[in-house]
Amino acid sequence: MILGGRCDVKGGGRRWEGVGERANVFGGRPAAVYVPPACEVSVVGRGAVEIALCGAQAETGPDAALIAPEQVGMRKVGEGACYREIHDIITADSLPAERLLIGETYNPPGLWSSYPPHKHDVHQPPAEHALEEVYHFRLDPAQGFGLHRVYGEGCEDCYAVHDRDTAVITRGYHPVVAAPGYRLYYLWMLAGERRELVWSEDPAHAWTRETK
C-alpha cells in the first residue's frame, strides 16, 4: 500500500515504475501492489515515500498485480453524525486473494465510523464471519486525536488514538470517532477463512441506523 509518495516495485515476476500519485493519505485515492505468497518484493522510493505492508497467511494467490488509483472504489456511507468515505482497495470481487481484504476509511471532524457498532469475531454464517482486523490511524492536522472503543463479551477498552497509532482487533464491537476539528483516517486490513465482510451489529444500538 502506497500511503504517500512514489516508488518502483518489483515482485512476482513483474515490475512497476513510479507507483503512487498522492502526497499523503489525505491526498486522494491510493495505489497498491498485490504479490502472492512466497514471492520476494523490492520497493525503491523515488524520493520520500511511505508504504504499509499488509499481509495474511495464505497458501495460494493470483498473479502479482498493480491496483492503480482509478481502480480503487470510493463509497460514501452513512448519514449525519455517521457519515464517512471509504476506499475499497482489495475486495473479494476485485482480486481473488486467499484471505486479505484492504480499505481506507475517512471520518470528517467529529463524526463516527464502524457505527452502529459491529463485530465479526464469530463464525456463524450467514449472519457473521470471523475476521481479524488491523487499524492504522492518521490525523489531519497531525496533533489531533480520535477515540476507539472495543467492547463485547470479555472485553471493554476505550482509548485515544493519535497520528500513526495502530490497533489490532481480534474480537468485540469497535466504533471510532474523530475529535472536532480533525479529520481521522484509518487503513483497515482484514483476514479470515472466508473473504466475506459479514458482521453483526450491537442490538442495543442498531436502532440508530434509522436516525439521521
Where does the pLDDT of residue 194 fall: very low under 50, low under 70, confident under 90, or very high at 90 and above? confident
To the nearest whole percent, how much of the chain has pLDDT over 70?
Answer: 99
pLDDT in tens, 70-102: 999 999 999 999 999 999 999 999 999 999 999
Domain count, the chain: 1
Alpha-carbon radius of gyration of the chain = 17
Give the pLDDT of residue 211: 61
Where does the pLDDT of residue 210 fall: very low under 50, low under 70, confident under 90, or very high at 90 and above? confident
Going by the DSSP 8-state scheme, the letter that residue 69 receives in this structure is G
pLDDT in tens, 161-179: 999 999 999 999 999 999 9
Give the pLDDT of residue 212: 47
The answer to whether residue 190 scores a pLDDT higher than 70 is yes
Give the pLDDT of residue 182: 98
For residues 127 and 159, the answer to whether their CB atoms sit within 8 Å is no
What CATH code is carried by the domain that includes residue 120? 2.60.120.10
d(CA 46, CA 49): 7
- Give the domain range for residue 27: 2-210
The rounded mean pLDDT for the chain is 95
Give the pLDDT of residue 71: 96
Question: Which helix or strand (DSSP H or E) is residue 161 part of?
Answer: strand 155-162
The residue to which cell 492503480 is assigned? 68
CA distances from 132 to 91, 99, 180 (A): 15, 11, 29
pLDDT in tens, 4-47: 999 999 999 999 999 999 999 999 999 999 999 999 999 999 99
d(CA 38, CA 22): 29
